[in-house]
Amino acid sequence: MAKSKGTIGILTGGGDVPGLNPAIRAVTIRALREGYDVIGLRRGWAGIMNVIRDKKADNSENYIHLTEEIVNRAGRTGGTFLHSSRTRASHVPKVNVPEHLRDTYTDEINDLTPEVLKNLEWLGIEYLIPIGGDDTLSYGVHLYQQGFKVVAIPKTMDNDVPGTDYCIGFSTCVSRTIQLTNIIRTSAGSHERFLVLEVFGRYAGFTAMLPTMAGAANRCVIPEHKFNIEQLTDLMTYDRNKNPSKYSIVLVSEGATFDGGEMVFQDQETDMFGHKKLGGIGDLVSAALKELSPKYNNGHRINVINQRLGYMVRGGDPDAIDSIVPMAYGNLALDLILHGIHGRLVVLKNGRYDNVPLDVVTSSKKVVDVRKHYNTERLRPHYKSFEMKPLFIMTSEME
């Protein structure tokens, strides 16, 4: 049997999206055929953080040796069979410190990076491929700065990882949002109502903008622009009265805020990256639209159908783009490793696959350019020309 060239580790962190399993499959199959062993780290950064460095210990909850059989079976499905978590090994609350390390790490917030580096060495992992959004990848940047070899793959439904036009999960999210909107619109039309749909998007409004541009909704409100509720009510009433079926639709990003208001959170608990769980702006918009509607509708109230699309847009099988791009990204990551290159993020730029320095993840933010792409008077996407624009119109930083 040929001697292994070394071991590659792979993990998925943050929110699940369709396309993660195809990416794991692509990395694993290519790596095995090139002579590497592949270890799948479970639950994002939590798996490698929880490893017990003892051959007799049961680490089956923390990592798995990947084979073609394992990844082929999972590769056609949504979600991530390696599981995921929002773990930040440099900022671990005392309650989350692994049991076997609680005598050593006793602060309220602990940096377990030294343990992570020892665990990677103990497993023989030479290269690490994290698949995630800017939170997951920011810890990948931290490890790279500590001297570890990291090649990253961008994933997030919001499509807001800097440095790339495309993140795994975005296309399926947009497809699913359009599909679900079209399912619910028949009820809105039957009852002549406003339809308010809350979608994911903490800091970036791409997941509300693209479906609206594609014709799924009349209006959208996004995190990048504080909206005036009177203006929205006026526009939604106008749209409804112009529609032969007497309904209108607004997509509301979870991170959108009222003019003069703040983000709406489900509760005050934060994850290890300091984020509170968003959710509820759709409820507030619905209540306000209903209350204000008589003012713009000759004294007659307009009722509202209010639905949070939530996990419906991130579950299920990947679409064509989220089957093809992860396959390409996985192979791009292996190409870099085979050439001894690391500290890179694989990307799509202007329709072509490429790679950029990994620290782009922490050095900038990627959001909708309101001036170029959002009409603040009409609360909907705005464009002058589609010529030479990227596939998803507003998702490039290079214009």
Domain match, 201 and 99 both: no
We report the CATH number of the domain holding residue 198 as 3.40.50.460
Q: Which element (helix H / strand E) includes 110?
A: strand 109-110
Q: Is residue 12 part of a domain?
A: yes
Write down the pLDDT at residue 242: 97
Domains: count for the chain: 2
- Number of other CB atoms surrounding residue 228 within 10 Å: 15
pLDDT in tens, the chain (399 residues): 567 899 999 999 999 999 999 999 999 999 999 999 999 999 999 999 999 999 999 999 999 999 999 999 898 899 999 999 999 999 999 999 999 999 999 999 999 999 999 999 999 999 999 999 988 999 999 999 999 999 999 999 999 999 999 999 999 999 999 999 999 999 999 999 999 999 999 889 999 999 999 999 999 999 999 999 999 999 999 999 999 999 999 999 999 999 987 767 666 666 555 555 566 899 999 999 999 999 999 999 999 999 999 999 999 999 999 999 999 999 999 999 999 999 999 999 988 999 999 999 998 889 999 999 999 999 999 988 888 888 888 876 644
Domain match, 272 and 333 both: no
Domain match, 235 and 377 both: yes
Domain match, 127 and 243 both: no
Write down the pLDDT at residue 38: 98
Q: Is residue 386 part of a domain?
A: no
305 forms beta bridges with 195
Give 174-178 contacts, CB < 8 A, sequence gap 24+.
174/207, 174/210, 174/211, 174/214, 174/392, 175/319, 176/309, 176/312, 176/313, 176/314, 176/316, 177/207, 177/211, 177/216, 177/251, 177/309, 177/313, 178/211, 178/214, 178/216
Quick one: which of 244, 252, 326 has its CA closest to 284?
Answer: 252
Q: Is residue 227 part of a domain?
A: yes
Prediction pTM value: 0.93
Write down the pLDDT at residue 144: 97
Q: How far is Cα of residue 381 from the mean position of the Cα atoms in its chain?
A: 21
Write down the pLDDT at residue 72: 94
Domain match, 212 and 261 both: yes
Domain match, 155 and 178 both: no
Angle, helices 170-191/206-213, rounded to nearest 10 degrees: 60
DSSP 180-204: HHHHHHHHHHHHT-EEEEEE--SS-
Separation between Cα atoms, residue 5 and residue 297, nearest integer Å = 71
Write down the pLDDT at residue 277: 58
Instruction: Give the model confidence (pLDDT) of 139-193 as tens digits.
Output: 999 999 999 999 999 999 999 999 999 999 999 999 999 999 999 999 999 999 9
Q: Is residue 388 part of a domain?
A: no
Domain match, 35 and 141 both: yes
Domain match, 143 and 275 both: no
Domain span at 288 = 173-313+369-381
- Report the catalytic residues: 158
Domain match, 142 and 275 both: no
We report the CATH number of the domain holding residue 356 as 3.40.50.450
Q: Is residue 399 part of a domain?
A: no
Judged by DSSP in three states, 382 sits in: coil
Q: Are 216 and 279 in contact (CB under 8 A)?
A: no
Q: Is residue 389 part of a domain?
A: no
- Number of other CB atoms surrounding residue 102 within 10 Å: 12
Q: Are 295 and 238 in contact (CB under 8 A)?
A: no
Write down the pLDDT at residue 80: 96
Domain match, 302 and 320 both: no
Domain match, 225 and 160 both: no
Judged by DSSP in three states, 154 sits in: strand
Q: Is residue 396 part of a domain?
A: no
DSSP 223-246: TTSPBPHHHHHHHHHHHHHHSTT-
Domain match, 187 and 285 both: yes
Write down the pLDDT at residue 61: 96
Q: Is residue 347 part of a domain?
A: yes
